Amino acid sequence: MSARRQLSFDDRGTPLAEATLVVVDLETTGTDPRSDAITEIGAVKVRGGEVLGEFRTFVDPQRPIPAYIASLTGITDASVAGAPSIGTVLPMFLDFVGDAALVAHNARFDIGFLSAQAAACEITWPKPQVLDTLALARTVFRRDEVRDHKLSTLARHVGAGITPDHRALSDARATVDVLHAIIERLGAAGASTLEDLGTAHRRATTAQLRKKHLAADVPPVPGVYQFLDQHGAVLYVGTSRNLRTRVRTYFTAAETRRKVLDMLPRAESIRVIECATPTEAGIRELRIIAREKPPSNRHGLHPEKAHWLRLGPGGQGLRAARLARPEDDGSAQIGPLTSRHDVEPLRGLLTDAILGRGTALGGGAEPDLGSGGHRDRIRRAMLEDPTEVLDHAAARLRAHVDAGRYEDAERLRRLVHGYLTAARRASRLRALAAVPLLVAARPSTEAVIGGRGWELLALRHGRFSGTTLVPSGKDPLPFARSLEMTGTGEAELAAPMCQGYHQEAEILLAWLEGEGVRTVLVEGAWQVPARARFDQEHLARRFSRTARGPEA
């Protein structure tokens, strides 16, 4: 008989007494994360039953608050006047959350709004673990004990110290008391870790339990994991900072994605690739997905397929393009766009702004860009300065708002944000693709021999070519010289605007824009493109000026 292996801390999970939780509640202008906005955020950070801090702020929804919402919450247009926008608040809230798990009552609503607003503001959503006290309460408090599972009912039932009143911080405080009552009940039933709490209202499937042994030998390191079928074909690819912890979640009730649950019965083995850093793992994951086309992955299968809005050279106008091309002939392009359906609306926005609304695309005719410097102005709006487009859009937004056409205003706002996002993506990719070699260093987030050190990253024309960790106190230059000799073949695969590998380039750009990054070696010139030119807040500032008149 083999000896029983002692469980590690990774196997056991995070003890509830040591888990940091942020209980959050939102007030909003409505129920649709795609069209409504947040008006207030309240949150309480707790650990081991102790309150560590609180977060509360109004948020300017940049639209009128409906009367029935104001009546329900007491939050009026006057309440949020002068409050910061969500683009300002969200980074502060995420900093407050840190590495904690998020808790909410009906978490789909609150987390749905937060993640949707992060996407709209181009803020990376960290995908924290989420606990839903509504789902947990339905498991813990049966209908013969409580008449329903509304927050107000549960707070009264558990003797919460505060009564929910549809204000964010009050409701978050009440949810804390409900959460602690739930933990007390589940603790008596054997739940002792954060992972236990996260899956208490679910059960693993038969296939998950039958295949659980596949994760037995996965190491606790950064890297890439691949689920393989009986013939060795790749079914699914993923990445994690801790392969062991991540892979084992696939065989628990925490995994609910249909594509994964359908894949697991066919999985016969798991192959892992250990990586020096999470950045390397992310790049390898993209390349494996592009090469193997795993049937259970949905993103990254065809990196060569992209959509651009291109201003052709000479007398050519604005056109949809599938391939990015050099711009030294006077052409310009922005993208990659989310969809080919974005091309025509963006084309209309740019031509309307430069040629005048109603004249740009009249009768389906190609707009005349050859006179009045129109072509140069469009090119400048695509490459350098969005001010002319934003002034045009801000005036139209003000007209819509003043006339009460809020749906039209929201559609225009989304279109302008799409333009800014496409132009900003292009400016960053353009700059990175032009650099033959860049070796940079930043403080490592991974353990290095002797303690913390430096993470070195080498790239060529926006393609990853190598990485290494340097112990603290060591001279990074010899390590950089070694990286300089690696990945020389990547330069042969380079393309304008990182065409065909833009997802990889954007991972590298995010790394280069991190805290404490230093350039160690560079061929050519490299400078992180300024964000302010195509920042989403730029539109908000131009719109605010229209309220004071054009002379303000």
CB 255 within 8 A of CB 236: no
Give the confidence band of 35 by pLDDT, cuts at 50, 70, 90: confident
CB 262 within 8 A of CB 270: no
Q: Is the peptide bond before 33 cis (omega within 30 degrees of 0)?
A: no
The mean per-residue pLDDT over the stretch 45-59 comes to: 95
Rg for the chain, CA atoms, rounded: 26
Ranked by mean pLDDT, the top range of 97-101, 233-237, 471-475 is 233-237
Inter-axis angle of helices 387-402 and 406-433, nearest 10: 160
Would you give the distance in Å from CA 27 to the centre of its chain? 22
How much is the pLDDT for 316?
A: 83
C-alpha to C-alpha distances, 82 to 74, 77, 93, 118, 431, nearest whole angstrom: 17, 10, 18, 21, 37
Q: Where are the beta strands (DSSP E) in 264-391?
A: 269-274, 308-311, 318-321, 332-334
The mean per-residue pLDDT over the stretch 290-295 comes to: 95
Query: d(Cα 146, Cα 168) in Å, to the nearest integer?
Result: 24
For residue 356 the two structure tokens come to 């005048």
C-alpha to C-alpha distances, 98 to 91, 127, 174, 327, 454, nearest whole angstrom: 10, 11, 22, 42, 22
CATH 3.30.420.10 is held by the domain 11-198: yes
Phi/psi of residue 260, nearest 5 degrees? -75, -45
With a CB cutoff of 8 Å and minimum separation 6, the contacts of 50 are none
Q: Where are the beta strands (DSSP E) in 77-157?
A: 101-104, 130-132
How much is the pLDDT for 299?
A: 84
With a CB cutoff of 8 Å and minimum separation 6, the contacts of 15 are 192, 193, 194
Query: For the chain, how many residues are written?
Result: 552
Order of strands, sheet of 318-321, starting from the edge strand that comes earlier in the sequence? 318-321, 308-311, 332-334
pLDDT mean across residues, the chain: 88
Would you give the distance in Å from CA 512 to the centre of its chain? 17
For residue 349 the two structure tokens come to 């926005």
pLDDT > 70 fraction of the chain, expressed in percent and rounded: 91
CB 351 within 8 A of CB 318: yes
| SS3 label, residue 48 | coil
The CA-based dihedral angle spanning residues 406, 409, 413, 415, taken in that order and rounded to the nearest 10 degrees: 120
Report whether pLDDT(401) > 80. yes
How much is the pLDDT for 152?
A: 94
For residue 148 the two structure tokens come to 């329903």
Query: d(Cα 529, Cα 384) in Å, to the nearest integer?
Result: 11
Query: d(Cα 479, Cα 437) in Å, to the nearest integer?
Result: 15
Render pLDDT for 539-548 as a digit per residue (tens, 0 to 9). Answer: 777 877 877 5
The mean per-residue pLDDT over the stretch 375-399 comes to: 92
For residue 153 the two structure tokens come to 């009912």
Higher-pLDDT residue of 401 and 27 is: 27
For strands 101-104 and 20-28, give the pairing: parallel
Lowest mean pLDDT among 219-223, 414-418, 447-451, 547-551: 547-551
Please tell me what DSSP assigns to residue 65: P
| SS3 label, residue 150 | coil
| Residues involved in catalysis | 166
C-alpha to C-alpha distances, 496 to 334, 394, 432, nearest whole angstrom: 12, 33, 10
pLDDT > 90 fraction of the chain, expressed in percent and rounded: 62
Report whether pLDDT(461) > 70. yes
For residue 504 the two structure tokens come to 């990889």
* Region for residue 523 given its phi and psi (left: phi exceeds 0; alpha: psi -120 to 50; beta: otherwise): beta
Query: d(Cα 352, Cα 551) in Å, to the nearest integer?
Result: 23
Query: d(Cα 356, Cα 268) in Å, to the nearest integer?
Result: 62
How much is the pLDDT for 491?
A: 86
CATH of domain 206-292: 3.40.1440.10
Phi/psi of residue 168, nearest 5 degrees? -60, -50
| Helix H or strand E segment including 502 | helix 502-512
With a CB cutoff of 8 Å and minimum separation 6, the contacts of 119 are 125
Render pLDDT for 246-279 as a digit per residue (tens, 0 to 9). Answer: 898 898 877 888 899 999 999 999 999 999 888 9
CB 295 within 8 A of CB 512: no
Sign of CA dihedral 222, 227, 230, 235: negative
- For the purposes of burial, counting CB atoms within 10 Å of the CB of 185, is it exposed (0-12), middle (13-18) or buried (19 or more)? middle
Report whether pLDDT(423) > 90. yes
Going from N- to C-terminal start, the domains of the chain cover 11-198, 206-292, 308-429+535-546, 435-524
Nearest Cα to 438, choosing from 455, 460, 454, 463?
460
Report whether pLDDT(107) > 90. yes
Query: d(Cα 457, Cα 153) in Å, to the nearest integer?
Result: 54
Query: d(Cα 109, Cα 31) in Å, to the nearest integer?
Result: 8
Report whether pLDDT(199) > 60. yes
Order of strands, sheet of 223-228, starting from the edge strand that comes earlier in the sequence? 234-240, 223-228, 269-274
Nearest Cα to 294, choosing from 236, 232, 240, 344?
236
